[in-house]
Amino acid sequence: MTLRGSLGGFGNMPGYRELPKALRIELLDITMIWYSLLVDSDEDKGLRSEIGEQMQSLKRAIDAYSERNFVYLIATRPRVRIAGKPRYKLLSGDLIIPLSIGRDGTRARAIIPAACLRALGFAHRAAVRHTGKKLVFDGFPPIWIHTLLMTLNIDFGLNTEITYVGRTEAPGTRVIDGNHRGLADTLTLALETQDDVFVFSCMFHGRHHASTEDHSVSFIISNSLTDQVDLASETDLIEKLLIHHFDPVTQRASRKTDVAILRNTLTKLRNEQQIENVTMAFEVDDPSEYFKFGNPAVAYEHRHAFTCRLVDGGVHETSLAESGVDASVA
């Protein structure tokens, strides 16, 4: 049985409902999907349906506990490909993989330590084949180059550029099926720059914070339990907060509309729920450069933490880094 709304009456309790509140939203889970793997080809045949089913299974598992919708980010990163035959170091047995990065084909290399290969169950100096996208050891699933670099946390100083933010109730089909304007626009941009395209499927968790005027009593309670902000409104709010923050290039034409929707939502939260501000803490608990997000409008960072509130009838965003406030306790 789902827990969403199981404490629905709490929001109307005397002594709580009238208190000024803040809604704190933080990232709960993120899944990175390399869009190239969803394209039907001999190299990746069947992966679209496999990845789609994995996302649907995740959705079913989460909904059995507490319904949540997904917010996704479409992004580009400089192209990385395997550029030659991998070879083992003579003494250590480490596997050296030559790479080509970016449209200019800058040469680099990745190294898989011998200890890591042994831990994965590969035989000593096991025969390995390769394509531009993957390594193949006989009897094992392919190792995709971006998965390898992320897992080993190999840093080439590359960034992940956010080009679109959206929301969905069906993560197993939305974007993955390819019928999507934001994706089509991003693929057009990536074709010009020869970048790789990624989809980051995200789940978030919101909590209400409130205190009495003398701070003798404080409340911190999950929004999913009280459902003070219902599921659809919560998902829309998260989507619009991220659009407002990242200002993605493919959504510039609709920015005025998106800001107006966010302003109306914040107004409704203030008037009906006494929610004075909303804080977003978007940070992945992983040091990989794949999660260093940004674009020309926003600095590339692992942590994007900010507060949005109404000021003189408009949406005002404040970086928590600038204000010196920690999003975990703000």
Among 121, 151, 181, give the residue marking a domain's end: 151
CA distance 184 to 166: 13
Task: State whether 50 and 27 are in the same domain.
Answer: yes
Q: In this predicted structure, what is the pLDDT of residue 290?
A: 97
CA distance 122 to 139: 9
Task: State whether 204 and 303 are in the same domain.
Answer: yes
Q: In this predicted structure, what is the pLDDT of residue 233?
A: 92
What's the mean pLDDT in 286-290? 95
Task: State whether 72 and 40 are in the same domain.
Answer: yes
* Residue 120: φ, ψ to 5°: -80, -5
330 inside domain: no
Tell me whether strands 218-222 and 275-283 are parallel, antiparallel or unpaired. Answer: unpaired
* Residue 291: φ, ψ to 5°: -105, 25
Q: Is the pLDDT of residue 240 over 90?
A: yes
Higher pLDDT, 76 or 179: 76
CA distance 41 to 315: 46
Task: State whether 71 and 185 are in the same domain.
Answer: yes
CB atoms within 10 A of CB 313: 7
- Average the pLDDT over each of 6-20, 125-139, 249-263 and give the range with the smallest value: 6-20
CA distance 125 to 120: 13
Number of domains in the chain: 2
Q: Record the tokens describing residue 213, joined without a space.
A: 């005027």
Among 99, 124, 151, give the residue marking a domain's end: 151
Q: Within 13 Å, how many C-alpha atoms sit on residue 237's CB side?
A: 28
pLDDT tens figures, 97-131: 999 999 999 999 999 999 999 999 999 999 999 99
Question: In which residue are the tokens 């680099």 written?
Answer: 108
Task: State whether 135 and 122 are in the same domain.
Answer: yes
CA distance 25 to 71: 13
Q: In this predicted structure, what is the pLDDT of residue 162?
A: 98
Task: State whether 68 and 173 are in the same domain.
Answer: yes
pLDDT tens figures, 184-194: 999 999 999 99
Domain of residue 40, residue span: 8-76+159-323
pLDDT category, 267, cuts 50, 70, 90? very high
Which residues, in sequence order, are CB contacts of 211 under 8 Å at separation 6+? 19, 217, 218, 219
2 inside domain: no
Which residues, in sequence order, are CB contacts of 235 under 8 Å at separation 6+? 68, 69, 70, 71, 167
**Per-residue exposure over 137-149, b if at least 16 CB sit within 10 Å of its own CB, e if not:** beeeebbbbbebb
Task: State whether 97 and 229 are in the same domain.
Answer: no
Task: State whether 212 and 317 are in the same domain.
Answer: yes
CA distance 144 to 28: 25
116 inside domain: yes
Helix axes 255-273, 231-246, angle to 10 degrees: 130
125 inside domain: yes
Task: State whether 112 and 253 are in the same domain.
Answer: no
187 inside domain: yes
DSSP percent split of the chain into helix, strand, coil, nearest 5: 30, 35, 35
Q: In this predicted structure, what is the pLDDT of residue 173?
A: 81
Task: State whether 176 and 232 are in the same domain.
Answer: yes
Question: What DSSP letter does each residue of 270-316 carry, written as one string?
Answer: HHHH-EEEEEEEEE-S---GGG-EEETTEEEESEEEEEEEEETTEEE
Q: Would you say 131 and 115 are in contact if contact means Cβ atoms under 8 Å apart?
A: no
Higher pLDDT, 139 or 325: 139
1 inside domain: no
pLDDT category, 43, cuts 50, 70, 90? low
Tell me whether strands 134-137 and 143-144 are parallel, antiparallel or unpaired. Answer: antiparallel
18 inside domain: yes
Q: Which is nearest to 201 in space by CA: 231, 233, 232, 235?
A: 235
CA distance 23 to 226: 13
Task: State whether 26 and 87 are in the same domain.
Answer: no
pLDDT category, 174, cuts 50, 70, 90? confident
Task: State whether 71 and 211 are in the same domain.
Answer: yes
Among 103, 129, 151, give the residue marking a domain's end: 151
Q: In this predicted structure, what is the pLDDT of residue 4?
A: 79
329 inside domain: no
